[in-house]
Amino acid sequence: MLKEQSRLIATCVFLVDLLLVATAFLGAWWLRAAGLPSVFPDAFPAPFYPLATYLPLLPFVILVWGALLLGSDTYRSHRTVPLVEESKGILKVSALGVAIFALTIFLLRLDEMVLGTDELSRLWIFLVGALSFVFLLTEKLALRILSRYVRYRGFNYRTVLIVGTSPGAIDLADSIQQHRFWGFKILGFVSHPTATTEWFPSRYPLLGTIDDIPNLVDDLVVDDVLFCVSRRELDRMEDLFLALHEQGIRTRFALNLFPHVKTQTRMEELDGVPLLTFSTAPESPTALSFKRLMDVILASSLIVLSLPVIAGIALLIKLTEGGRVLYTQTRCGLNGRRFTMYKIRTMVEGAENHQGDLLHLNEMDGPVFKLRQDPRVTNLGRFLRRFSLDELPQLFNVLRGDMSLVGPRPPIPDEVARYQRWQRRRLSMKPGLTCLWQVSGRNQLDFDRWMELDLQYIDSWSPWLDLKILLKTVPAVLTGRGAS
């Protein structure tokens, strides 16, 4: 019941958020069309395009902001989320929304399709993002103030009975006490019958042992029973779980099964069987679907823009060297799936047959082969590599779904076979055209640092991080920094 109520509240807040985004869209038009011209007539001369001209863009704005809001965990319970963190999330949504909106408009020429001209106001786009941030942040702040007021007044809180008297259980209780606005009220602790409790802090009531829980549940109002016990003790509490389940009391478990492993934990269900899932890679369906959508939109746009460049390069190759234009190679993708990667050929024909003769010149440690002055690279190929033009055909790999725009670079199978175990984790995310390694020095870094940057990307991934990497990739490519 409580879960259904939470979903209903989250749905209502989401709908209000979309309404606020639409209001920001309209407010931005009013500011640009009437508000700013009335205050600064010289800087913002009238007339401005009528509202009816801009309205066809409103569904797209709502779609972009809606996808970003859903993918940012905005609608989970915020009892324990600091305001600063939530504010950063809203800022990222608004900034990323503006970036995607602007890129899509100017790459796909939506301004000409909608307005019949390329004079779509850049200021208006910025105002949409700025107002959406202000409106959404104001709403979240109002919701926080309201919920905290209600909880401080003794409403909308949940009573918690904590099972276990370990230091970890005490630390968890202290955290709850320090954050009253989370909406939890500690009733007290119960201990294991054989546990030593002389040291137990007097600031919390010790209500008895595990054997007393049935009576405590009858005598007190208990919303949640929080178990902070070891895995071995959990095995002996099945009857207690069943008894609490029969009475409709929610049970929670403070899980720390693998304290030395950095992983994401979530509960799933498979044909009625509960599964506790541990994952080291991002698995949010909404966020990953949004990543894929952006891959398709941006890759399609870039393919259209780069086709003349690819055609010109192909002509130069035929005129100067002859032979194949495209070079294909088997690479390892998500979790080791093999696929054919496309590149523009930058070496002489049959170059792979001569790599063994150059192994003693390898300048990169680890299982990879890198050589700045590789004699197999043609003069034209050296130029193409410097500015990463040889990788343009990989946009088709992105469109096919083998790769993403941002992700660890796809390795060849021979390299993967020589990976250390910890290095294989970089395969847990779809490979990409660029990543932290590309914008941090590329071939100037050693192999272990390269792997560490890939794992750092996986552990901290978000759509916002992808955008930052893409923006940093542009100057890195234009300057040829770190390229061989």
pLDDT in tens, the chain (484 residues): 344 555 677 788 889 999 999 999 998 888 877 766 666 666 666 556 677 777 888 888 998 898 888 877 666 655 556 677 778 888 888 888 888 888 877 776 666 665 565 567 778 888 899 999 999 999 988 888 887 776 666 566 788 999 988 888 888 888 888 766 667 889 999 988 877 777 888 889 999 888 888 888 888 888 889 988 877 777 778 788 888 887 888 888 887 655 555 667 777 777 777 777 777 788 877 788 889 988 998 999 899 999 999 999 999 998 888 888 999 999 999 999 999 999 999 988 877 777 777 877 877 778 888 877 888 888 898 899 888 899 999 999 999 999 999 999 999 999 999 998 889 999 999 999 999 988 887 767 788 888 999 999 998 898 888 988 998 898 888 876 655 5
Q: Tokens at residue 396, please?
A: 């088709």
Of 364, 323, 368, 358, which Cα lies nearest the Cα of 344? 323
What's the confidence (pLDDT) of residue 124? 82
Q: pTM (2 decimals)?
A: 0.64
Backbone angles phi, psi at 266, to 5 degrees: -150, 155
pLDDT tens digits for range 186-245 = 999 998 887 777 788 888 999 988 888 888 888 888 888 998 887 777 777 878 888 888
pLDDT tens digits for range 285-334 = 778 888 998 899 899 989 999 999 999 999 999 888 888 899 999 999 99
Question: What is the per-residue burial (b if ≥16 Cβ within 10 Å, else e) of 223-262?
Answer: ebbbbbbeeeeeeebeebeeebeeeeeeeebbeeeeeeee
Of 236, 426, 421, 418, which Cα lies nearest the Cα of 336? 426
Q: How many angstroms separate the CA atoms of 61 and 29, rounded?
A: 13
Of 291, 324, 277, 255, which Cα lies nearest the Cα of 405? 291
Q: How many angstroms separate the CA atoms of 226 and 399, rounded?
A: 47
* Burial grade of 155 (CB within 10 A; 0-12, 13-18, 19 or more): exposed
What's the confidence (pLDDT) of residue 455? 92
For every residue of 267-331, DSSP letters joined together read EEEETTEEEEEEESS---HHHHHHHHHHHHHHHHHHHHHHHHHHHHHHHHHHHHT-S-SEEEEEE
Residue 13, number of CB atoms within 10 A of its CB: 16
Q: Give the CA distances from residue 188 to residues 97, 163, 247, 448, in Å, rounded to whole numbers and listed in that order.
A: 46, 9, 19, 49
What's the confidence (pLDDT) of residue 2? 41
Q: Give the CA distances from residue 225 to residues 79, 184, 210, 403, in Å, rounded to whole numbers and listed in that order.
A: 18, 12, 11, 45
Omega into 82 within 30° of 0, i.e. cis? no
Q: How many angstroms separate the CA atoms of 408 and 432, rounded?
A: 6
Q: How many angstroms separate the CA atoms of 23 and 15, rounded?
A: 12
Give the residue carrying structure tokens 């004079």: 119
107 alpha-carbon distance from chain centroid: 24
Question: What is the number of H-type helices and E-type strands within the chain?
Answer: 17, 11
Contact of 171 with 155, CB cutoff 8 Å: no
